[in-house]
Amino acid sequence: MTAEYRDMPIDAESEQRLAAQNLSFGLVDTTDTETFSAWLRAESRGFHEANPTAELLDVSLKGVADRRTTGVWDPSAAEPLSPVSTVSSWPTALTVPGTRTVPAWAISAVTVSPTHRRRGIARAMLESELRTAARFGSAVAVLTVSEATIYSRYGFAPAAMMANWQINPRRLHWTGPDSTGRVHFVSLEQLRDEGLALVERVRLDTPGQIEFSGHLWERLLGFGSDSSGQAKNLRAVRYDDAEGVSQGFAVYRVTGTDGSFDTNVLEVDYLVAATDDAYAALWRFLIEMDLVSEVRAPLRSVREAFAWQVSDFRAVRKTLERDHLWTRILDLPVALESRAYSGQGRIVLDVSDPLGFAQGRFLLDVDAVGAGKVTPWDAVTPDGVADVSLSINEVNALYLGGVSGVTLARAGRVTENRDGSAVVLDSLFQSAVSPWLSIWF
Ligand SMILES: CC(=O)SCCNC(=O)CCNC(=O)[C@H](O)C(C)(C)COP(=O)(O)OP(=O)(O)OC[C@H]1O[C@@H](n2cnc3c(N)ncnc32)[C@H](O)[C@@H]1OP(=O)(O)O
pLDDT (tens digit per residue) in 307-363: 999 999 999 999 999 999 999 999 999 999 999 999 999 999 999 999 999 999 999
Per-residue pLDDT, 2? 59
Per-residue pLDDT, 227? 58
CA of 303 to the centre of ligand 1 (A): 31
Tell me the CB-side half-sphere exposure of residue 286, using CA atoms within 13 A: 32
Closest C-alpha among 192, 288, 177 to residue 249: 192
Q: Which 3 state secondary structure label does DSSP give 36?
A: helix
Q: Model confidence over 376-424: pLDDT tens digits? A: 999 999 999 999 999 999 999 999 999 999 999 999 999 999 999 999 9
Averaged pLDDT for residues 269-283: 98
Please state the φ and ψ torsions of residue 67, each to the nearest 5 degrees: -85, 150
Residue 237 annotated as binding site = no
- Measured from the CA of 126, which atom of ligand 1 is nearest? 28
Work out the pLDDT band at 257, boundaries 50, 70, 90.
low
- Measured from the CA of 117, which atom of ligand 1 is nearest? 24
Handedness of CA 404, 406, 410, 414 (dihedral sign): positive
Instruction: Please give all residues whose beta carbon lies within 6 A of any atom in ligand 1, as ranges.
Output: 46-47, 107-112, 117-123, 143, 145-147, 149-150, 153
Helices 54-63 and 33-46, interaxial angle, to 10°? 110
Work out the pLDDT band at 228, boundaries 50, 70, 90.
low
Residue 147 annotated as binding site = yes
- How much is the pTM? 0.97
Nearest residue (CA) to ligand 1, atom 20: 122
Residue 119 annotated as binding site = yes
**CA–CA distance from 52 to each of 12, 40, 62, 247, 345 (Å)?**
32, 8, 14, 36, 53
Per-residue pLDDT, 170? 96
Mutate to test the pocket of ligand 1, among 74, 112, 144 (most ligand atoms within 8 A of CB): 112
The reply to whether ipTM tops 0.90 is yes
Cite the beta strand spans of 199-315 per DSSP E: 235-240, 246-255, 265-273, 294-300
Between 109 and 255, where is the model more confident?
Answer: 109
CA of 210 to the centre of ligand 1 (A): 25
Predicted confidence (pLDDT) at residue 134 exceeds the cutoff of 60: yes
Nearest residue (CA) to ligand 1, atom 42: 150
Q: Which of 5, 36, 151, 154 is catalytic?
A: 151
Mutate to test the pocket of ligand 1, among 90, 108, 111, 323 (most ligand atoms within 8 A of CB): 111
Per-residue pLDDT, 226? 65
d(CA 47, CA 109): 9
d(CA 278, CA 184): 12
Predicted confidence (pLDDT) at residue 229 exceeds the cutoff of 90: no
Per-residue pLDDT, 232? 77
Which residues contact residue 176 at a Cβ distance below 8 angstroms, ignoring those fewer than 6 apart? Answer: 280, 283, 284, 305, 306, 308, 309, 310
CA of 150 to the centre of ligand 1 (A): 6
Cite the beta strand spans of 74-156 per DSSP E: 85-96, 100-112, 140-144
Closest C-alpha among 326, 321, 398 to residue 162: 321
d(CA 123, CA 375): 31
Residue 320's beta-bridge partner residues? Answer: 164
What is the Rg, in whole angstroms, of the alpha carbon atoms belonging to the chain? 23
Q: Model confidence over 12-47: pLDDT tens digits? A: 999 999 999 999 999 999 999 999 999 999 999 999
CA of 57 to the centre of ligand 1 (A): 26
Does the active-site annotation cover 239?
no
| 156 touches 141 (CB < 8 A) | yes
Residue 381 annotated as binding site = no
Predicted confidence (pLDDT) at residue 200 exceeds the cutoff of 90: yes
- Measured from the CA of 118, which atom of ligand 1 is nearest? 27
Please classify residue 302 by burial: count the beta carbons closer than 10 Å to its beta carbon, then call 0-12 exposed, 13-18 middle and 19+ buried: middle
* Biggest distance spanned by C-alpha atoms of the chain: 73
Go through the domains of the chain in sequence order and give each one's CATH number: 4-155 (3.40.630.30), 163-322 (3.40.630.30), 332-429 (3.30.1050.10)
Nearest residue (CA) to ligand 1, atom 21: 122
CA of 156 to the centre of ligand 1 (A): 14
Average per-residue pLDDT for the chain: 96
Please classify residue 142 by burial: count the beta carbons closer than 10 Å to its beta carbon, then call 0-12 exposed, 13-18 middle and 19+ buried: buried
- Measured from the CA of 107, which atom of ligand 1 is nearest? 1
- Measured from the CA of 143, which atom of ligand 1 is nearest? 1
Residue 254's beta-bridge partner residues? Answer: 266
Averaged pLDDT for residues 188-213: 97
CA of 420 to the centre of ligand 1 (A): 38
Residue 122 annotated as binding site = yes
Residue 110 annotated as binding site = yes
Please state the φ and ψ torsions of residue 336, each to the nearest 5 degrees: -75, -30
Does the active-site annotation cover 313?
no
| 369 touches 352 (CB < 8 A) | no
